[in-house]
Amino acid sequence: MDMIEIIRKKRDKETLNKEEIEYFVKNYTAGKIPEEQAAALIMAIYLNGMEEEETKNLTLAMAYSGDVLDLSGLGNVVDKHSTGGVGDKVTLILMPIMAALGVPVAKMSGRALGYTGGTIDKLESIPGYRVNLTEEEFESQVQKIGISLIGQTSNLAPADKKLYALRDVISCTESIPLISSSIMSKKIAAGAGSIILEVTCGDGAFMKTKEDATYLAKSMQKIGSLCQKQVVAVITNMEEPLGYSVGNICEVIEANRVLKEGIIEKDLKEVIFTLGAYMLQLAGKGEDISKNKEQIEETIHSGRAYQKWLEWIEAQGGDIQYLQNPDLWEKANYQLEIYAPKEGYIQKIKARAVGEIVGSLGAGRQTKEDVIDKEAGIVFYKKVADKVEKGEKIAQISTNKKEMIEIAQKQLLEAIEIGEEEPKKFPTVLDIIE
């Protein structure tokens, strides 16, 4: 086959057949297709889209580009994935809760895709935490303590691993066929029986509208159905950052506080309790969603979720002293508190702008080779609809880039809108698609 002809077809809005898609995936994974040709095809897909059959074929080609795990021996494994946002530390909190409730957690997560680190980058902020377990170690840990979370292995959906990084650096992340095939290929390869999806929408998400998020969710459900996977999607609002922190270490600290002390911001709680309730349902641990949320509440306040968190992190080499005493975390060289310029109510905290600011502070990647600054981030002391007084502390910026501190201060104040009228607070969970 001719790669140039494949690029031309998609450039000219023609449909790629199964053989052409498999040729591209196989040979790009093997390093036989140059990066510039792969980038050209991905850009053409981004601009012109894919039909349902093309998306399915791309998903399966990526899923079967390497090993496909069989986790049926571990019980009813329910995987979880989020399309991402700003301040998304949900996995860190939700997974130990599920494990404490008897749902086996065998999860592979990714690195940064955009503004800040991915779940794996955040876990690597914990000194000693091992993200690269063998498949045998991975499954053995789940059998022993009920939970393991590792990076995507080189042998599991390796095509997606390469394409995921490529999309990031050529600004082709916001594409429904590419997002849905990327997510579902990993889920199929990782062997989960059922899947819960958080599909974010709004200013800080890839999908800007609820309609687009719903379209993406249904696209992934169709792929799951073709592969005999039960998929539930939760549509969530990402107009403001989720929770109080955006960054790597600061999000781990927030997650730890939720599990240790039960202190959780309202929007973060709404997402975690909804996702968790449906995970319990998919795992056969409870049909009543309201009662499932009560189980989650009890698991946090009894301390069982926190103990599972410590057990999980320690099992993968993490130094749990940092979780037991968060003052041990290293601080960024430069910190600046941000104060309200006037009295009023917070009208908006623009999620996308905050994400871009935190990325510029060093918490994200611009190229595949960039090293993340785990100490960089922003912690908020106020959320949308909160009342503030003039001069009251509303946020804190942390960075090791001295040249960025004043720029970030100016940009953050522009991203936080304060007005006289108390705004309407919109729900965080917008829809459930079963």
Active site residues: 81, 160, 167, 182, 186
CA atoms within a 13 Å half-sphere pointing along the CA-CB vector of 277: 19
Nearest to 382 by CA among 415, 428, 429: 415
Question: Phi then psi for 265, rounded to 5 degrees?
Answer: -70, 150
Query: Angle, to 10 degrees, between the axis of helix 18-29 and the axis of helix 35-48?
Result: 140
Could you tell me the CA-to-CA distances from 15 to 6, 230, 360 in Å, in that order? 10, 28, 39
- Residue in the block written with tokens 């927030």: 254
Per-residue b/e over 163-199, b at no fewer than 16 CB within 10 Å? Answer: bbbbbbbeebbbbbbbbbbbbbbbbbbbbbbbbbbbb
| Per-residue tokens: 281 | 């349902």
3-state secondary structure labels for all residues of 35-96: HHHHHHHHHHHHHHCCCHHHHHHHHHHHHCCCECCCCHHHCCCEEEEECCCCCCCHHHHHHH
The CA distance from 287 to 310, in Å, is: 29
For 3, the enclosing helix (H) or strand (E) is helix 3-11
> Would you say 39 and 22 are in contact if contact means Cβ atoms under 8 Å apart?
no
Nearest to 393 by CA among 354, 360, 346: 346
| Per-residue tokens: 146 | 């009920």
> Would you say 148 and 131 are in contact if contact means Cβ atoms under 8 Å apart?
no
Nearest to 279 by CA among 43, 8, 98, 22: 98
